[in-house]
Chain A
Amino acid sequence: MQPAEVLDVDAHEAHGISWSERDELEVLTFELSGEVLAIEAIRVFEILDVLVDTIVPGAQPLVDRIVNFRGKIIPVADLRLAFGMERTERTVDSRIVVIELVLDGEVTMLGLWADRVLEVTTFARSECEEPPMVGMRWKREYVRCLARRPTGVTIVPDLKTIFESVLLDKTLN
């Protein structure tokens, strides 16, 4: 699935937190251990059927797998680990969502595990709110906002913060 066919968000907004003029955000939603997560659809490059991954011994758990994506070697992250959840077995519905992020000023391509990819949809700004100060299982700074949807609450993770903290940790090591 090529993002360009699905989306009409301006390319220049790709790297900011970008509500459209109508205060909307196009997202791709996917499931991870029963939770629904959403990422800005403009960042999505491709959705892959599960490939065989390779473990990188010594890497940080969040990014300890790599796959061959069209001749490029990209890390695959299991966001469960960033939110303190356990890894699970892969199923026939498992996919890798390949996204592009700007980390420390460099365009980085990486994959995200998804138990199931749901849909491309639009969030209205009014549906979304800041994560609450209390009552969250997850690190607050890793969540950009929560969206109230008819089906339940969807988490919009702050990918930039999550992965830059991994890079920072690496530098400290």
Chain B
Amino acid sequence: MSGEDPAAAFRIEAGELLDQVEQGLLDLGHSLADMDLINAVFRGLHTLKGSGAMFGFDALAAFTHHCETAFDRVRKGQVPATADLVSVILSAQDHMRALVEGDAPAAEGDAILARLQLALENASGAEIPVAEPVSAPRGWRLFFRLPADAMANGTNPLTLLDELRELGEAHIVARTDEVPPLGDLVPTECHIGWDVTLVGDISREDIEDVFIFVMDDMTFEIAALDDAAAAQEDSAASTEIADTTVADSPKTDEPAKAAAVTAARGGESIRVPAERLDELMDRVGELVIAQSRLSQLAHGGDDLVLRSVSEEIERLASELRDTMMVVRMVPVASLFNRFRRLVHDLANDTGKQIALVTEGESTEVDKTVIERLFDPLVHIIRNSCDHGLETAEERAAAGKPETGTVHLSAQQSSGEVLITICDDGKGINRERVRAKAEANGLIQPGQVLAENELLSLIFHPGFSTAAQVTNLSGRGVGMDVVKRTIESLRGSIDVASTEGEGSTITLRIPLTLAIIQGLLVRVGNGCYVIPLAAVEECIELSLEEDLRSRGRSLINLRDRLVPFLRLREMFATGTKPDTHQKIVIVAIGNERVGLVVDQIIGNHQTVIKSLSAFHSSIATFSGATILGDGNVALILDVGQLVAMGQGVDSEEKIYAAG
């Protein structure tokens, strides 16, 4: 054991176990008869109890023991799993979390145990759901191989074989093909696999139960034995396996075993403090810069050897950077899973029937982004459940299915992740939004507003249409916080809503905070980066057109007037405009603005650096980035520029009107 606090290690492990148990319980809530889930929950509780006792968390072990016992009865089919029972165990699981942290009131534990007892009693009265009537096959043919360290970890293969024999008539043959030569043999390691033919009316679950505690790490193959094959295979197996030197026998099971191993390895991961990754990222950034200097040097001379080394390094550096960029990415599944509990609790609190459907969990996003998305999503989902979805009666009256659905999906689209929260509730009541906004003085009575302008009022600070403040939402602090958080992630938020049919909120979030895909442009002598996500198109601004438009800063783009900003003037570069100036049209939501630049250099993917305290208040720039040659380019803050452009726009409209 290392010098680290074992209790801390246990807390981390317990946290993960409890997460698994929670997910299992939530799934179980939907399919009460699923034996796999019941077993998974039981295994989780069992391990928690065991390790808890081992690390001196006695209160936790004692408490968990009761829950484990309850689940053991469910597992053995003595008591059916009921929604009630699942919900009690869920709250028990919260209590376990508190016990792990060491701040759990004992009275609460007792209350939960009392409720558990009650739920069990009620459940025993209920009918046991009939397990799916699988016609049990005449027997099974299975192969298992324990991990090499199984015996060191306290598993006795003989006990397992005995348990199998108890199930029915068993024919067991050992596979010794993996036993290493005597010189390499470590006597405490287990290298033998077993082929077992079990004949009799045995269910698959019974067999799996034998391996319940070693299942995760072992190689296990099982197939039903049909009567014709049974006898034949039996004899074939015995002849084949008796001769353990048969050359192809190890080969045949090699792929299957390899697959089993990869499956187990798939979930393997290492915890690394985020700052170490940041440091690594900085180093990689520096390496890329040093490399580009090397490559300039190499291309300047005639040394072919130097040039080939430099190209090799260039390739490695760019691969390293690509790898670095994906290291920080994690699937959104970890985020989405946390909302299942939230929706479960919300359904209980509101008495509504709510189903959460998630989609695209494998979409990957930077870890920091994921962490910062949690709070805004909680607000949005609460709003959907509390304000959006109706009660079962209301829904039935409106001719909708009684269970309301909240659809949470993630999808990647060119450097951005779209997260959509969609409910099939009653939608946003525009009249109420308008009335409230007028009452708060946000808009003038009778002011004409576009659809999206009206809906975006819900993001205004202090705005909430809930007639009654509930403990869930309605304090009017939610949506503006949501908007601010999303904007701080350089994302944007859109609302769409159809009355009577539901609302959809779409968040557009950059994949990562650390890296930007940008359009590199030149204004005067300086290079600037425009976030590519905001760029809509680039058009040319001819000199004549530029001169003609001196008086106004609007261009006609497909019958729409788009305001534009001359960056050269804004940045006071003191240079003459290029003859072929370009306008980069950028957009945030539906607002567009054109940025006049001297030259478009191209795409540029790079690490974002923040500006020092001296420059953080300059609204035009959101950060800076280091170019390939080591020089610095500023990143334009498109949101601010669009706002400025719109300001120009309205001034000119007033001017035009006057």
Interface set of A (CB-CB < 8 Å, partner B): 51-60, 63, 66-68, 70-75, 103-104, 106, 108-110, 163, 166-167, 170-171, 173
Contacts and interface: CB of A to CB of B under 8 A. Distances in A.
A57 B572 contact: yes
A132 B571 CA distance: 40
Nearest to B611: A73
- What bracket does the count of chain B residues touching chain A fall in? 20 to 34
A53 B527 CA distance: 11
A73 B624 contact: yes
A160 to B, nearest CB: 13
B613 A59 contact: no
B626 A71 contact: yes
13 contacts: A54-B632, A55-B526, A57-B620, A58-B620, A59-B615, A63-B614, A66-B612, A71-B626, A73-B609, A103-B613, A104-B613, A108-B613, A166-B614
A71 B286 contact: yes
- Which 8 residue pairs across A and B have the least CB separation, nearest first? A57-B571, A54-B632, A63-B614, A71-B286, A73-B609, A58-B618, A73-B624, A71-B282
Contact of B615 (A52, A66, A104): A66
Given A71-B285, A72-B609, A73-B626, A59 B632 contact: no
B289 A56 contact: no
Contacts of B621: 56
Contacts of A58: 571, 618, 620
Contact of B618 (A56, A103, A104): A56
B632 A66 contact: yes
A75 B615 contact: yes
Contacts of B632: 53-54, 66-68, 73
Contacts of B283: 71
B634 interface: yes
B617 A52 contact: no
A62 B225 CA distance: 85
Given A54-B634, A66-B632, A68-B632, A171 B612 contact: no
A68 B614 contact: no
B630 interface: yes
Contacts of A104: 613
Interface in B564-622: 570-573, 609-615, 617-618, 620-621
Contacts of B613: 103-104, 106, 108, 167
B172 interface: no
Contacts of B447: none
Contacts of B633: 54
B468 interface: no
Contacts of A54: 526-527, 624, 631-634
A56 B609 contact: no
Nearest to A60: B614
A77 to B, nearest CB: 9
B615 A51 contact: no
B530 to A, nearest CB: 15
A54 B612 CA distance: 14
B414 to A, nearest CB: 27
Contacts of A106: 613
Contacts of A56: 611, 615, 618, 621, 634
A71 B282 CA distance: 6
Nearest to B616: A170
Contacts of B611: 56, 66, 73
Interface string B503-527: 0000000000000000000000011
A54 B631 CA distance: 7
Interface string B461-484: 000000000000000000000000
Contacts of A103: 613
Contacts of B570: 57
Nearest to B627: A68
Contact of B631 (A52, A74, A173): A52
Contacts of A51: 630
A66 B626 CA distance: 11
Contacts of A71: 282-283, 285-286, 289, 609, 626
A68 B618 contact: no
Nearest to B573: A57
Contacts of A53: 632
Contacts of A60: 614
Contact of B289 (A68, A73, A74, A166): A68
A57 to B, nearest CB: 4
Given A71-B285, A73-B611, A173 B624 contact: no
A51 B610 CA distance: 19
Nearest to B614: A63
A57 B641 CA distance: 14
Nearest to A109: B612
Q: Please indicate which of the listed interface residues A72, A109, A171 has the most CB atoms of chain B within 10 Å of its own CB.
A: A72
Contact of B624 (A66, A108, A171): A66
Interface in B611-658: 611-615, 617-618, 620-621, 624, 626, 630-634
Given A73-B632, A110-B614, 11 more contacts: A54-B631, A56-B621, A57-B572, A57-B618, A63-B615, A66-B615, A66-B624, A68-B289, A70-B286, A73-B610, A106-B613
A62 to B, nearest CB: 9
A144 B647 CA distance: 46
A2 B546 CA distance: 52
A75 B614 contact: yes
Contacts of A171: 617
A3 B33 CA distance: 71
